[in-house]
């Protein structure tokens, strides 16, 4: 494909670029762009998978003449926010052919994409990024954190009795497909940052397990924690078998652990850290609210590292801010800038509390001044205005910062259990 690029590309010029929703017949060309930009070999089964996994009426292509040079699009989600949920366009597969990079193609696709999300009356967009410097310029702020946990199995012990009375059971793919979606749905509104999962996202994402995704490990194993026959939590993992001079040194790589009760989380950790022949357990996206370090005897043996998780872009300020609840009653006036798109710029008075909120444009002196990017970072309660003011990203008096922090805070830390 790269060989078919027109000569003007080598000279660094870019012809007229057409950004639009693709025709279904153009999906393979767009997948080629993804393959070059992300660096994976595109196989026929991937093409089939993309056709099933993506919402084809939301997939964007950028074209120079007949040549597909950019890909992007959206998934349709509801995003859990403190005390509620909000319509959300899940920004995905933004990619530009290496021959056409740094000439503004992504920028044009982002304009189109954010208009498309706003056109569907989704007040926010959200994404996971391949590299942290890319999306701030488009108004996205880091809203949740990605929390990796590494455990030396021989160092883990649980000094107290189990918190629950349940048991853990291995389930096959077919049973996982039946049991897990309703359990996930029952948990989804508890934690800001969760996203709706539909049949496609289960079948083509969580339960999809082609050998190429296994990195040398086993197929995904699924376990369910149950009490009196009721499923209260689940986890998935792969085992990577290794013998080191005759000693067992297996590695266990876990996906997100989802639990409805402390007993379920406790039971799942005990199970995962109890599997024989395992030396290390790597949980690549642990819940920030996890109790793990509180339930083991030696918390220092749990290695933890944090980086940016899901980023949120607020498009419609009143709709986004009134979709969530606030920890305490209060009123705060925010002046926002939105250089990329403008739709979130202005002065807004937010009055909110545990029972709901109102938000409208006003002509008043603001309490706080910030960019829409920073509102995205505080929206789910993951970062405070005071923290961001410390980095020079929010301006306002100490009292105003504190008032906004107490309002926007939430007892449950935001966490997104899936990377899309
Ligand atoms: C990231 C990517 C889509 C950028 O596309 P692009 O068309 O080169 O981006 P643009 O030309 O519109 O760049 C817009 C701005 O973002 C900056 N930028 C783009 N990609 C960047 C990156 N990876 N790191 C830092 N800055 C970046 C550009 O320098 C430019 O800055 P400027 O406005 O100050 O000049 C492209 O490099 C790519 O496909 N990368 C591999 C796949 C990937 O990582 N996609 C993102 C998935 S979340």
Provide the residue-wise pLDDT of the chain in tens; the chain has 420 residues: 333 334 344 435 678 999 999 999 999 999 999 999 999 999 999 999 999 999 999 999 999 999 999 999 999 999 999 999 999 999 999 999 999 999 999 999 999 999 999 999 999 999 999 999 999 999 999 999 999 999 999 999 999 999 999 999 999 999 999 999 999 999 999 999 999 999 999 999 999 999 989 999 999 999 999 999 999 999 999 999 999 999 999 999 999 999 999 999 999 999 999 999 999 999 989 999 999 999 999 999 999 999 999 999 999 999 999 999 999 999 999 999 999 999 999 999 999 999 999 999 999 999 999 999 999 999 999 999 999 999 999 999 999 999 999 999 999 999 999 999
Q: What is the Cα gyration radius of the chain?
A: 23
Residue extents of the structural domains in the chain = 2-122, 147-308, 316-408
Q: How far is the CA of 102 from the centre of ligand 1 (A)?
A: 6
pLDDT of residue 98: 98
Atom 44 in ligand 1: which residue has the minimum CA distance? 130
Residue nearest to atom 34 of ligand 1 (CA): 137
CA 55 to centroid of chain Cα atoms? 18
| Residue owning the nearest CA to atom 10 of ligand 1 | 104
Q: Which atom of ligand 1 is nearest to the CA of 101?
A: 8
Does residue 130 have its Cβ closer than 6 Å to ligand 1? yes
Q: If one looks up domain 316-408 in CATH, what number appears?
A: 3.30.1050.10
Coil vs helix vs strand at 147: strand
Q: Is 419 in the pocket of ligand 1 (CB under 6 A)?
A: no
- Which residues are the active-site residues? 135, 420
The CATH superfamily holding the domain 2-122 is: Gcn5-related N-acetyltransferase (GNAT) (3.40.630.30)
Measuring from atom 12 of ligand 1, which residue has the nearest CA? 104
Q: What is the pTM of this model?
A: 0.95
Distance CA 206, CA 146 (A): 18
How many whole angstroms from 235 Cα to the centroid of ligand 1? 35
Specify the CATH number for 147-308; select among 3.30.2130.10, 3.30.2010.10, 3.40.630.30, 3.30.465.10. Answer: 3.40.630.30
With the most atoms of ligand 1 within 8 angstroms of its CB, the residue from 71, 74, 102 to mutate is 102
Q: Does residue 39 have its Cβ closer than 6 Å to ligand 1?
A: no
Can you list the alpha helix ranges (DSSP code H) found in 94-210? Answer: 105-119, 173-187, 199-201
Matching CATH topology for 2-122 and 147-308? yes
Please tell me if the CB atom of residue 38 comes closer than 6 angstroms to any atom of ligand 1: yes
Give the span between the Cα atoms of 38 and 128, in whole angstroms. 14
């Amino acid at each position: 494909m790269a060989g078919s690029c027109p000569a003007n590309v080598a000279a660094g010029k870019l012809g007229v670029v057409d950004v639009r929703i693709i025709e279904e017949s153009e999906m393979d060309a767009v997948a080629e762009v993804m393959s070059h930009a992300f660096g994976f070999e595109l196989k026929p089964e991937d093409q089939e998978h993309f056709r099933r996994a993506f919402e084809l009426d939301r997939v964007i292509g950028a074209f120079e003449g007949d040549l597909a040079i950019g890909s992007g699009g959206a998934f349709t989600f509801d995003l859990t926010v403190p005390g509620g949920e909000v319509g959300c366009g899940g920004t995905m597969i933004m990619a530009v052919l290496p021959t056409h990079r740094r000439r503004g193609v992504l920028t044009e696709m982002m304009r189109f994409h954010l208009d498309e999300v706003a056109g569907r009356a989704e007040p926010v967009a959200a994404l996971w990024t391949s590299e942290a410097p890319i999306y701030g310029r488009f108004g996205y702020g880091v809203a949740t954190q990605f929390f990796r946990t590494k455990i030396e199995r021989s160092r883990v012990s649980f000094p107290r009795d189990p918190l629950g009375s349940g048991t853990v059971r291995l389930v096959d793919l077919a049973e996982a497909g039946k049991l897990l979606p309703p359990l996930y749905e029952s948990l989804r509104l508890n934690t800001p940052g969760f996203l709706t999962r539909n049949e496609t996202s289960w079948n083509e994402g969580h339960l999809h397990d082609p050998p190429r995704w296994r990195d040398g490990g086993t197929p995904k194993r699924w376990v369910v924690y149950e009490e009196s026959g009721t499923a209260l939590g689940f986890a998935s993992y792969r085992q990577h078998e290794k013998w080191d001079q005759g000693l067992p040194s297996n590695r266990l790589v876990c996906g997100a652990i989802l639990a409805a009760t402390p007993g379920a989380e406790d039971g799942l950790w005990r199970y995962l850290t109890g599997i024989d022949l395992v030396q290390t357990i790597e949980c690549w996206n642990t819940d920030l609210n996890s109790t793990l370090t509180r339930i083991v005897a030696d918390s220092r043996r749990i290695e933890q590292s944090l980086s940016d998780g899901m980023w949120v872009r607020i498009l419609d300020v009143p709709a986004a801010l009134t979709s969530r609840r606030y920890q305490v009653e209060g009123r705060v006036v925010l002046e926002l800038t939105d250089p990329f798109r403008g739709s979130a710029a202005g002065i807004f008075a937010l009055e909110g509390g545990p029972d709901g909120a109102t938000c409208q444009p006003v002509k008043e002196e603001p309490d706080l001044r910030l960019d829409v990017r920073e509102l995205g970072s505080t929206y789910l309660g993951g970062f405070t205005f005071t923290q961001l003011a410390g980095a020079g990203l929010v301006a306002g008096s100490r009292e105003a910062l504190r008032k906004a922090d107490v309002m926007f805070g939430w007892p449950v830390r935001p966490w997104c259990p899936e990377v899309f």
